[in-house]
Amino acid sequence: MKVKVVKKFRDKHTTLIHQKDQELEITQERFEEINSTSLGVFVEEIHEIIEETQTEEEKLSSEEIQKEEKSIAEAEAPGENEIPKVEETVKTTENKRERSTKK
């Protein structure tokens, strides 16, 4: 179990000094032993919050966001029709240059 030190103490088994707000991993038995002294409570159990899985509403909204991002990306990407137009513009410009140099 995970515990948080609320009062500085020296562990009699390990001889380590544990500072306030330090987090430790100990057994339930050791937890009870540490706190059973006449000097008071030294550690408190840390209750871990387990994250719940996404709700159906959150899943739907994330799917909608993904669809919207995909449609934006598709809209920003050049289409197949745009490439020939660029090539045609280049050819037209080259033809104009050739005609002007021939004059």
In the three-class reduction of DSSP (H, G, I as helix; E, B as strand; rest coil), residue 50 is classed as: coil
Residue 17's SS3 state is strand
pLDDT at 22: 95
Q: How do the domains of the chain map onto residue ranges?
A: 2-45, 60-96
What was the pLDDT predicted at 62? 73
| CA atoms of 30 and 7, how far apart (whole Å) | 16
Rg of the chain in Å (alpha carbons): 35
Considering 56-60, 68-72, 92-96, the range whose residues carry the highest mean pLDDT is 68-72
> Could you read off the pLDDT of 23-53 as tens digits, one per residue?
999 999 999 999 999 999 999 999 877 666 6
Do residues 44 and 6 touch, judged by C-beta distance below 8 A? yes
